[in-house]
Amino acid sequence: MFIRNQFVQNKLVLHLMEKEEYELLTTSSNQEEYLLWKRNKRNTDIVRVSLKQYDWKRELEASVQQVEKKVIQNIQLPLFQQNISFHHIFIAEYEPVDSWSDLMKRDSSVPKIDTSFVYIWSQHHEEEFSRFFQKAQLNHALTFSIPENLFELEYQTELLKHRIQQIHKNAEKEILAVFNRGKPRLSYILIAINIILFFLLEYRGGSTNPETLIQFGAKYNVGMMEGEWWRIITSMFLHIGIFHLALNMLALYFIGTLVERIYGNIRFIIIYFLAGLAGGMASFALNPSIAAGASGALFGLFGALLFFGMKNPRIFFKTMGMNVIFIVILNIIFGVFVPQVDNGAHIGGLIGGFIASGIVMLPKSKAFMQQLIAVVIFVFYVFGLLAYGLTNDEVQYNETLQIQRVQQLVEAEQYNEVTEIVTETLPYADQLEAELLFYRSFANIHLESFDQAKRDLEKAVEQKSEFEEAWYNLALLYQQEDEYNKAMHATEQLLDLDSENNSYQELFQELQRAEN
């Protein structure tokens, strides 16, 4: 009798949902078929409970394969899934005419599904539920009696259906509640601030102009080493070029509003700034270049979503899990292969955001000791990055970074500082050693240390034979010291590089007259 099978079907489904913590995935419009699943660590069990009747094994097998393929295409599975088992339970009046025993347990032909089980329950084969409970490793036994009275049977079946739908609706309401804990006001404010400051940068000299960026508070290791630590915060609101701004603001619009809805306004802004702080500190420790952007804070928001996924894996993987993980991995890989991307800030912000989420915790979560531990971890993390950055001479004495600093000092006529910085930087120089030597010689000329200036210039032209400015200054120093042969050789090198230059021609003629 069909109504009897409906009762058994709904009794089993309700048991799986209430006692075994299975989640309802889908149900057919006529409720003849339910799909449920349960994830346990790295194992996933998918259960199909169907009232469909199959007369032949081939029809049954075709249905099994079709459903498995469709389910795998339409659900998000957890990352690093170790084992997936699919259980097909058919509640039928009779079994297929031909033998179907080889379908009881088999290796699925559908990718990602490891094992497929088929069970056919009937009044003559009630032991099939026991086999299912054993294979699925269920914890609670299912006992029930089928009402004899038809009206009672129909009534109880409708009650079971209603209860199943009620549990499913409550689960959906729970998900909606998770994503409506705060209205995303602060995300929009942050977007507005970033856009306003970008146009102010453009107006004052250009968002790609290093001097303008430094003036407005970009991450600049030289300034930070001199005490300008506020740059970690200000750099979060500056962007280099319209593409950089557009990319980050799109991320803030989609990811920021999502995190703000999940965590609420106050928790969101705390995570955002703590992640930005961690990302900025990682950039200081690992990246010598001038840097700006909200990327560290944005990756911190990804970290917040991963923390949410750790605390609510069911909701996380049902709604956004694989997408978030894919985007994070893609961005990290992109950062590794694209030199201009500040991957240190990205990873530093990601870790910082994850830890910061442990500090603020999710709404309605009480875990004071865990929060205290997270605070300690965050402090050690940030100060660890700071200590590493302060002692990472290869970054802090990066030749490109120090050249920019030396140029500023030369313009300010701070020549003693120039000689000190160049001397400290030269052991770490690679491609710009000649330029550093030139600037030190320039400073020594003004400090009247002419011998040291000549030695630096001689090394500079030895390393870079086409260095005209170095040859010219060296020729003048030789002339000043009455070393006319050396001065003439230097001038000849200049004329070989640029025979049309009037200054070189005049110096050559002047040296010829002096020799005569």
Q: Return the active site residues.
A: 295, 346
CA–CA dist 163, 157 (Å, integer):
10
- Nearest to residue 251, comparing CAs of 293, 197, 284, 286? 293
What angle, rounded to 10 degrees, do the helices at 321-337 and 295-311 form?
140
Distance between CA atoms of 166 and 31, rounded to whole angstroms? 14
Interaxial angle between packed helices 2-18 and 150-178, expressed in degrees from 0 to 180 and rounded to the nearest 10: 30
- Per-residue tokens: 296: 């560290």
- Distance, in Å, from the CA atom of 87 to the CA atom of 65, rounded to the nearest integer, reads 12
3-state secondary structure of 147: coil
**In b/e form, how buried is each residue of 3-37, taking b as 16+ CB within 10 angstroms?**
ebbbbbbbbbbbbbbeebebbbbebeeebbbbbbb
Contact 349, 281 (CB under 8 A): no
* Closest alpha carbon to 221 in 27, 472, 54, 392: 392
List beta partners, residue 138: none
CB-based contacts of 442, cutoff 8 Å, min separation 6? 410, 418, 453, 473
**Other residues' Cβ atoms within 10 Å of the Cβ of residue 163:** 15
| Chain CA centroid to CA 148, Å | 60
Contact between residue 46 and residue 7 where contact means Cβ atoms under 8 Å apart: no
- Residue 345 near residue 295, CB atoms below 8 Å: yes
CA dist list (Å): 97 to 61, 100, 105, 412, 422: 13, 9, 19, 96, 90
